[in-house]
Structure 1
Amino acid sequence: MTAGPKSRRQILVGVAALAATSLGVGVVAGARITSPEDAAAKTAPPKASQITVPVEKKALASKVVGRGDASFDGAVNIRVETSGLTTPAIVTGKVPGVGSTITEAKALLEIVGRPVIALAGVLPMYRTMTPGSKGPDVLQLEKTLDRLGFDPGSVDGEYDGGTARAVRELYEKAGYDAPEADQQLKDAVDQAKKMTDAAKKTLRQAQSQLAQAKKAKSPDLTVQKGAVEDAKEALQDARDAQDEAELKAETPLPVSEIVYVKSLPRRVDKVNVERGGTASGTVMSASGAALVVTVKVDASAAEHLKDGMAAELTLGDGSTVKAKIKRLTRKGESYDVVVGPDKLTPKQLEQLRDANVKVTIPVKSTNGKVLTVPVAALSAGSDGGSRVEVVRNGKTELVPVKVGLTADGYAAVTPTGDAKLDETDQVVVGK
């Protein structure tokens, strides 16, 4: 069957529409097709750009910062040598409380009614000292007595009458009777005095007989004169014996009544005895009366520190306390830095007690404001010198610099030679 004119027009319109639709689809599909080169270009990372920061002018300060534990300086265990006692070492009084202060030349404890007096010294009390004793312990005692104002006479390491006199003054100042010699030594003095008295009487009799012989005009006085000389020698011997007996009966220093501590005053940290109990071994532990903070640092930091350097402690409430380094002690690969605070108020002392606090120790600082750049901006040149990369007018330039103090990630720099660098410049710190 043959289509009419109207049907042919309808077919042509449909074909044209189909062609147009196909063309549109092709155009859209073509637009979405990407070549490998185009795809690679679109997925490649963006071109690197420089990261710059401005050169700054400011003051730098290098410091050591750490955290340290507060404690009372120099803990020691205090022992009383009670082996010389003839009775049990019963504690009868003067038991200190924790936190109290041990003061030199004062009794820190009472045992069997007698004081245990604290003195500063490095040698322990290991024997009872009596007149005639000699040695380094006696020399230490004499030096200590002399330092405290109790004159021991010759400071020669020999316990003599002058030493005994100074010991009596020490006990009197502490509020106690001085120790007494054994009764047999006192009895020996009494006996020596009787011998001296007898020798004096014998001499008087010999002298009287000589006088009578002279009065009678006896032709030979040899016997009478010999008797007087013999009596004089006997009296001198008796006097020497009395002096020796009296020296031996001078004030002794019992081993149980003195305790030497390396330095005083100190704070009582722990008490191991009570009144009525028996003293044995360590009777108490004590530390220095001064509170300190100990912070650990590595060897590289310790190289910049020394005794007497200023420091700062930051308390829990944010307030600060000025301090100074007291000493540095090597502990293996690290160092203990002991920092002593300046005068503390009662509130500050309470805040620091057993606390862990921030410690800041300034090491170096610039003299006012100087040109600085981040440490990341520094690089090494072929000659081994330092340099920074400066961006000026869109171009980069390597500027040689001399590096000074570094602190907090910044370095003080000075351009060298004819190079220029100022606050208007931008330095490259990354790309």
Structure 2
Amino acid sequence: MKRKTWLLAAATVLVAGTAVGGAVVAFGPTRTTPTAQESSTNTATVERGRLSAMISQSGTLTYRAQPNGSPYSVINQASGTYTELPADGDEITCGDVLYRVDEKPVLALCGMVPVYRDLRSGLAGHDVRQLNGNLHKLGYDAAAGVTIDPADSVFTWRTQQALRVLQHDKGIGLTGRLDLDDAIFLPEAVRIAKVTGELGAPAQPGAQVAQATSDTIEVQVALDPSQQGGVNTGDPAQITLPGNRTVTGKVDRLGRVAQVPAGQNTNAGDATIPAYIRLDDPAAARGLDRAPVLVAITVDEVENALNVPVTALVGKSGGGFAVEVVRPGGRRELVGVELGLFDTAGGRVQVEGGLREGDHVVVPSS
């Protein structure tokens, strides 16, 4: 049976002080106890079913960006004056005009390789492949009456023809080449997180004009380092949104570097590990950027497990645990059990021993 040692330790602390009849007791080997009237006995039923161990944490809704959670930097390469800029929250897709310098459009194209040279006929490379991929995906090759292989890394006459159609569509000079200051390559369609350039200010090549994220919302959770080993990519999660709405998701990735909160009174003991949770339905949380949420990550599960309430456990003097079973006629018997998974949400624990589904076990008075 699966076990989480940190959960077991927590449960040991919980049940170490279990009281019977108002006193804390420890039990020796399995034995029977004197008969008691059933009317004075609080019992719970031994059940069989699914148990889940969860980690519950507060989290924050945010938009996905780089793997470490930081936004993409939008680096300007044009010289002149910013005459049009996007606004915070604007969504920019591949092929859109991102901003203008001296009224000249600067396009947003999609690709992992940032722009670093003029692209013209005869050149080859990953940046050319990105351009070909954009021209094909946006349909400018078909509009030009040609077909571009999006995996082609050579700037051919087909690239030139399709690029001219794009330039005409966006109001750029029909040069048939992509100059360094014509476009910015970003990894994907983006959402503007922050505009750092100023309208009417000088546009300096190499300066950041904006910060951007993807347009996909996710949840960021700060895990205690002791919890990192219990959380894995793909673990299911339940997210409670503002207004008490609940959505589901999965752990998408885990940070590799511990983060320490900013502040004068923080130390290494305050470090946390970021975890990022992908929502199954991101549209359900749109418009809630930076909103606080509650997250429950399922780190372990067991099906069809025999289980009892954690409060039914009592400690044995020789070590281990037992439960007090009420037999027919009101007779009580201590039965030793081995513990498995603790269901942190339901307050129950998986047990193995001389118990059967439907048995009644003694629990403390509420």
TM-score (normalised: structure 2): 0.68
1:325 Cα deviation from its structure 2 partner: 2.9
Aligned ranges 1:99-248 → 2 under 5 Å: 99-149=89-139, 150=141, 151-152=147-148, 155-173=151-169, 175-180=170-175
Deviation at 1:116, TM superposition (A): 0.9
Equivalences for 1:397-408 in 2 at 5 Å?
Answer: 399-408=335-344
Name the CA distance, whole Å, in 2 between partners of 1:370 and 1:154: 57
Could you tell me which residue of structure 1 aligns to residue 179 of structure 2?
Answer: 254
Once residues 151 and 297 of structure 2 are traced to their aligned partners in structure 1, the CA distance between those partners, rounded to angstroms, is: 44
Shift of the 103–390 alpha-carbon distance from structure 1 to 2, 3 Å rule, reads: same
In the TM superposition, residue 68 of structure 1 has moved relative to its aligned partner by 0.8
Give the AA of the match of 1:137.
Answer: D
Q: CA 1:263–1:71 in structure 2 vs 1: closer, same or farther (change >3 Å)?
A: same
Shift of 1:106: 1.1
Is 1:270 paired with 2:259?
Answer: no
Residue by residue over 1:138-189, the C-alpha shift from the partner in whole angstroms, topping out at 9 and shown as x without a partner, is 233223433444343585433221221222233244x324442xxxxxxxxx
What letter matches 2:77 in structure 1?
E
Distance change >3 Å, CA 376–CA 298, structure 1 → 2: farther
Cα drift, residue 401 of structure 1:
2.7
Contact 1:389/1:396 (CA < 8 Å) preserved in 2?
no
The corresponding residue for 2:18 is none
Deviation at 1:365, TM superposition (A): 4.5
Contact 1:132 1:159 in 2 (8 A): yes
Q: For structure 1, which segment, 393-402 or 358-367, has the greater mean C-alpha deviation from structure 2 after superposition?
A: 393-402
CA separation of 1:254 and 1:421: change in aligned 2, threshold 3 A: closer
> 1: CA distance between counterparts of 2:210 and 2:191?
11
Q: Which residue number corresponds to residue 70 of structure 1? A: 61
| Residues 1:56 and 1:62: Cα distance change in structure 2 (over 3 Å) | farther
1: distance between equivalents of 2:293 and 2:23? 46
Instruction: Report the counterpart of residue 358 of structure 1 in structure 2.
Output: 294
Provide the secondary structure at the position in 2 that maps to 1:255: coil
Report % sequence identity.
25
1:412 is aligned to 350
User: 2:57 aligned with 1:61, yes or no?
Assistant: no
The 1:79/1:69 distance shift into structure 2, 3 A limit, reads: same
Q: Shift in Å at residue 379 of structure 1? A: 5.1
Matched to 1:349, the amino acid is R
> In 2 relative to 1, CA 135–375 (structure 1 residues): closer, same or farther, beyond 3 Å?
same
Q: Deviations over 1:86-139 (max 9, x none)?
A: xx422233x211111111111111122322111111111011122222333223
CA distance in 1, matches of 2:237, 2:361: 36
Deviations 1:273-293 (A, max 9, x none): 344332121111112212221
Q: Work out whether residues 118 and 179 of structure 2, in 8 Å CA contact, stay in contact via their aligned partners in 1.
A: yes
- The residue type paired with residue 80 of structure 2 is A
2:350 aligned partner, one-letter code: A
Match of 1:166, SS?
helix
- C-alpha separation in 2, matches of 1:48 and 1:112: 83
Question: TM-score under structure 1 normalisation?
Answer: 0.59
Distance 1:374 1:314 in 2: 26
Instruction: Write 1 or 2 for the structure with the bigger share of helix.
Output: 1
Partner residue, 1:340? 278
Which AA in structure 2 matches 1:157? S
| Matched ranges for 1:248-397 at <5 A | 251-264=176-189, 266-280=190-204, 281-298=207-224, 301-332=227-258, 334-341=272-279, 342-344=281-283, 349-350=286-287, 352-367=288-303, 370-374=306-310, 377=313, 386-388=320-322, 390=324
Distance 2:343 2:233 in 1: 22
TM-fit CA distance, 1:396: 7.8
User: What secondary structure sits across from 1:256 in the alignment?
Assistant: coil
Q: CA RMSD in A?
A: 3.6
**In structure 2, distance between residues paired with 1:48 and 1:428:** 11
Q: Does structure 1 conserve the Cα–Cα contact (< 8 Å) formed by 2:218 and 2:282? A: no
Residues 103/421 of structure 1: CA separation in 2 closer, same or farther (3 Å cut): closer
Aligned residue in 2 for 1:226: none
Q: Is the 8 A contact 1:105 1:118 kept in 2?
A: yes
Q: Partners of 1:391 and 1:57 in 2: how far apart?
A: 10
CA distance in 2, matches of 1:62, 1:154: 47
Q: Take 1:128 and 1:380, find their aligned partners in 2: how far apart are those partners?
A: 78
Displacement of 1:299 in angstroms is 5.1
Deviation for aligned residue 1:381: 9.2
* 1:105 partner SS: coil
Deviations 1:184-225 (A, max 9, x none): xxxxxxxxxxxxxxxxxxxxxxxxxxxxxxxxxxxxxxxxxx
Tell me if structure 2 keeps the 8 A contact 1:388–1:428.
no
Aligned CA distance change for structure 1 residues 397 and 66 (closer, same or farther; 3 Å): same
* Number of residue equivalences: 298
- For 1:425, what is the secondary structure of its paired residue? strand
Rounded Cα–Cα distance in structure 2 between residues aligned with 1:154 and 1:374: 60
Q: Secondary structure at the match of 2:201?
A: coil
Please identify the structure whose Cα radius of gyration is greater. 1
